[in-house]
Chain A
């Protein structure tokens, strides 16, 4: 006999189904998983020589000689682009009619939208974990201790979910996988209008102003505080706040978009 199920059970079932889909196409996932790890090597190899060892003791030594600690958050944040694939999951469901089937059932719209966002955030989490492991191997050492790895991962999860929500909304609004992929263009201004390679104090003019309004700035700064500076609570709090607010806003945006998309259909 069927009974009413809770929102969280619905979310769990829908997320599990999407994960099953992901598992059925493993080759589609591998490039995304390794690309950010690749960039960590490139950043460390190319810039570490300038800002790392050779800059030790100079004003350019942002991380007391450990450039991996400084650049690792950039790799983690850049991994959030993989959350941009989440929109495609939903667009595929819209195209196949699965989305309409779920809408014709007494299932929460929020659960239908949140499930692909969660899968996107899980992808980011897996990538971030891989980057962490590689970072640890090549010398990353959080200033707050080993718990710092978990804290950075939790921020990455929230940030990935926010990016996934944006991608889902873009996919639903455009109704096409191209629309969902186009969402990843947000990644470039988000990543580079921020203190990506140098601290915010070293940014000049318009870039300094732009970075103050970019939530990525606060996410990167929180991760850097954890990795380089230690327990600077207000900076860490701002990072969680920026990532969490971004996730809530994009989830709402995605649900509103889904309602409009249904009406268009």
Chain B
């Protein structure tokens, strides 16, 4: 049985002013024990999809099942089997972490004694034992996120939904949270996470769905998605705008992006001299040229037509030539 099965779900919001299709048509499947990443910019429909899968929003069309339970007709059974940590950390700032874990454990049906035991286990798991009796309002952003994650694990859910779990965190805190999410996968938990960070999707997700304007525009493992680009990416930079314009006429397969031109070809490193010669013969001065394996950012550009804001190419570069 699949952990998550989503078939053509839709969500439409209707107000007096307009009808907004937040999710137009989203389908994907997640196997048990996988980390599945929903990657997309703000407003793509990721969070709305998560809200529907966690029974917090009604589905307008299509169907979705979590561990075989339908999110619309078996919502209570779905809620019993999932853990949820949404973008806004659902934390009461006036209470302490210990009080929050205890209260949540009691609400999940643990006895007082078991709630105390579970509280200690989870405080240890998310590294908050020392800060357990401090009010949450004194916690850093990273501590709050860890607490939020811990609270979603109180009942040992089989499927965990994390909506942008590291947004706003510094790189160190982000790394800590990633390690915790990976440990959960090792423990057999299925994780569905949304992110707008390419690096996060690449690092964590076994499989990724790129979602844009309410549609899944690509799906696969990180390697499969990168392979779909069909080769390496050669990037040319120019000192002047006129050189860049001329270069676009010469490199007919090139795609302009800001002050760069990119070409996707097989065996990119070997073909760099050929392209540089072509440009030099046309009196075009190239300031730098590099070849790299495609990144998720390149995949994103290919399937959506634009880059994900703040994305950075991090994949290993093969070669860089500075003129």
Name A's B-contacting residues (CB within 8 A).
Answer: 1-5, 9-10, 13-14, 16-17, 20-21, 24-25, 93, 96-107, 262-263, 265
In B55-93, which residues have CB < 8 Å from any A CB?
A: 55-58, 76, 79-80, 82, 84, 86, 88-93
The residues of A that contact B89 with a CB separation of less than 8 Å are 96-97
Residues of A within 8 A of B56 (CB): 100, 103-104, 262, 265
Write the nearest CB–CB distance from B164 to chain A, whole angstroms.
13
A96-B90, A96-B92 are known; give 18 further A-B pairs, CB within 8 A: A2-B105, A2-B109, A2-B110, A2-B155, A9-B106, A13-B106, A13-B107, A16-B103, A17-B95, A20-B99, A21-B92, A96-B91, A98-B92, A100-B86, A101-B90, A104-B54, A104-B56, A262-B56
B103 and A105 form a contact (CB under 8 A)? no
Whether, in the assembled complex, B253 has its beta carbon less than 8 Å from a beta carbon of chain A, the answer is no
The residue of chain B having its C-beta at the shortest distance from the C-beta of A2 within the complex is: B109
Cβ-defined contact, A263 with B58, below 8 A: yes
**Which residues of B are interface residues toward A (Cβ below 8 A)?**
51, 54-58, 76, 79-80, 82, 84, 86, 88-95, 99, 103, 105-110, 114, 135, 151, 155
Q: Is the CB of B114 within 8 A of A101?
A: no
Main secondary structure of the interface of B (DSSP, over half): loop
Q: How far is the CA of A10 from the CA of B151 in the complex (A)?
A: 17
Give the residues in chain B near A2, CB-CB below 8 Å. Answer: 105, 108-110, 114, 155
Complex CA gap A4/B80 in Å reads 10
Contact of B94 among A24, A101, A102 (CB under 8 A): A24
Give the 4 A-B CB pairs with smallest separation, nearest first.
A101-B90, A97-B90, A97-B88, A2-B109
B107 engages A5 (CB within 8 Å): yes
- How many Cβ-Cβ contacts under 8 Å join chain A to chain B? 83
A98 touches B79 (CB 8 A): no
- In the complex, A98 Cα to B106 Cα: how many Å? 16
Closest to A9 in B: B106
- Which residues of the other chain, B, contact A24 by a CB distance below 8 angstroms? 94-95, 135
Identify the closest chain B residue to A95 (Cβ): B88
**CB closest residue in chain A, given B77:** A106
Task: Please state if A104 and B107 are interface contacts (CB–CB under 8 Å).
Answer: no
Residues of B within 8 A of A13 (CB): 103, 106-107
Residue of A10, A16, A100, A102 contacting most chain B CB atoms (<10 Å): A100
Q: A262 to chain B: which residues have CB within 8 Å?
A: 56-57
Which residues of chain A come closer than 8 Å to B92, judged between CB atoms? Answer: 17, 21, 93, 96, 98
Complex contacts, B155 vs chain A, CB 8 Å: 2
CA–CA, A263 and B135, complex, Å: 31
| Residue numbers in B under 8 Å from A103 (CB-CB) | 56
A105–B86 CB distance below 8 A: no
Residue pairs across A and B with Cβ atoms less than 8 A apart, 6 shown, are A2-B109, A2-B114, A13-B103, A14-B107, A104-B84, A107-B107
Say whether B94 contacts A105, CB under 8 Å: no
In angstroms, Cα B278 to Cα A51, docked, is: 106
Q: How far is the CA of A202 from the CA of B86 in the complex (A)?
A: 58
Chain B residue at minimal CB-CB distance from A264: B13
Closest to A99 in B: B90
Q: Contact: A100 with B90, CB < 8 Å?
A: yes
Within 8 Å CB of A1, what residues of B? 110, 114
What separation, in Å, do the CA atoms of A1 and B103 have in the docked complex? 15
> Which residue from B80, B88, B93, B107 sits with its C-beta under 8 Å from A100?
B88
Q: Chain B contacts of A17 at CB under 8 A?
A: 92, 95, 99, 103
Chain B proximity of A78: nearest CB distance (Å)? 28
Q: Tell which of B51, B82, B91, B108 touches A98, judged by Cβ atoms closer than 8 Å.
A: B91
Min CB distance, A83 to chain B, in Å?
20
Given contacts A1-B114, A104-B79, A262-B56, contact A21 B109 (CB under 8 A): no
Most chain A beta carbons < 10 A, residue from B57, B82, B90, B151: B90
B residues less than 8 Å from A16 (CB atoms): 103
